[in-house]
A and B are shown apart, each in its own frame.
Chain A
């Protein structure tokens, strides 16, 4: 029975990993776009973006998830059929806004002299950003980023509120199937998170060392 519980939890954890990975794939670049929009000289774009960031960071992710999932249906639009899509959309938007703020701080911390030096060498703004500024930004933002990424691992459990079978939901379902105490599978699920976060911590520490050296 132990093996069966672990097996089921593994399947649930795959879904957890899927949410985690897809959110990062979309939110990391989207965050950069949001960051650029939030720092545009053109005031309407800047204020609009900052308003969105305010709303996204100022309300619970759970609420955003429910709105993305049920909002379209309630407004008479075609309802979201696949809850997983709602999860990825809500998570990507939410994390993009957090990442945007981290990027913003990182970019501001790179001295204006780096831009000037690049300009004086005849490089375009895009090139200067990609080849000169951004590599320095990555190095600076790694610690706050690793924090957000670790938070994301645990936030994935919110997906169970709209019936996505990630690991916590799996664990809860198991109580019915195998008539075990509810705490048992949940504690096992907790161990999955711990191990994964431990791995991520090691990876981030290595990265930080590598970029510093």
Chain B
């Protein structure tokens, strides 16, 4: 079985059938590009994977563990949060937190999660009979260690995304490319198993696209597992191991970049490749 298996994802919004049974398997360290025209369901697929939408049917298995199975049961919010941490989603329009510096954008979520973990750790110690000052000292050390790790990780991530100079700047002071790199660093800070990118470059001009693509390439080389929805055909062709072409809520064709771009089979793909969309969508 593949590292990540998505089986028969279906999703309706009212009468509108947006995903009509999407299956996709991704191996560890693999980069899969998803291409397809606007409205074909690419964003919805990523959102379903990241538990931001609930598929009406289908299942998802990561590392042999069933993360999602449409059985009509509504998962608890805390359960969803836990599962979401397996994935890191990077949005088309960044959605950075404007009131925080670049560094804080990256460290905020890990710090908040550390608080929760420290509380749980304290409880587990109490259950084992640790009390009083020993308990407080242990929890304090847990927090301090966690804090240090978060800060070190953040510095390393900012370096990787070439943002060390901007660590103390606010998002509004950055270019689009820098903002998107912050968003990538922010997603990486939680050490997700699979990275999901929703058109990470379509809000950027070509020069800025280049710097983001560079980061994506580096991630690929480091062995990150990624699903990248993109309009950058060159990127999809050069960097990804597999390209999936989506049309009308289904994966119409999937294969190695050379097959998809060099020898497209389906009519829809041929048409898509010869008549690229004039204007890039902004959803």
A122-B82, A125-B77 known; A117 vs B97 contact (CB < 8 Å):
yes
Whether B113 sits at the interface, judged by CB under 8 Å, is: yes
Complex CA gap A124/B81 in Å reads: 7
Q: Which residues of A contact B208 (CB under 8 A)?
A: none
- Interface pair A122/B84, CB less than 8 Å apart: yes
- Interface pair B190/A116, CB less than 8 Å apart: no
Whether B50 sits at the interface, judged by CB under 8 Å, is: yes
A116-B52, A121-B109 known; A132 vs B97 contact (CB < 8 Å):
yes
Complex CA gap A120/B172 in Å reads: 21
- Interface pair B112/A131, CB less than 8 Å apart: yes
Interface size classification for chain A: 10 to 19
Q: Which residues of A contact B (CB under 8 A)?
A: 111, 113-114, 116-125, 127, 131-132, 135-136, 139
Q: Which residues of B contact A119 (CB under 8 A)?
A: 52, 81, 84
- Interface pair A120/B50, CB less than 8 Å apart: yes
Complex CA gap A22/B187 in Å reads: 43
- Interface pair B112/A123, CB less than 8 Å apart: yes
Instruction: Give 16 new A-B contacts, CB below 8 A, not counting A114-B97, A117-B96, A139-B99.
Output: A111-B95, A116-B91, A117-B91, A119-B52, A119-B84, A120-B84, A120-B87, A120-B91, A121-B186, A122-B82, A122-B109, A122-B190, A123-B109, A123-B112, A124-B81, A136-B98
Between A and B, 24 residue pairs with Cβ closer than 8 Å are A113-B91, A113-B93, A113-B95, A114-B97, A116-B91, A116-B95, A117-B91, A119-B52, A120-B50, A120-B52, A120-B84, A120-B87, A120-B89, A121-B109, A121-B190, A122-B81, A122-B190, A123-B81, A123-B109, A127-B112, A131-B108, A132-B97, A135-B99, A136-B98
Report B224-246 CB contacts with A as 1/0, cut-off 8 Å.
00000000000000000000000
Q: Which residues of B contact A123 (CB under 8 A)?
A: 81, 109, 112-113
Closest to A110 in B: B98
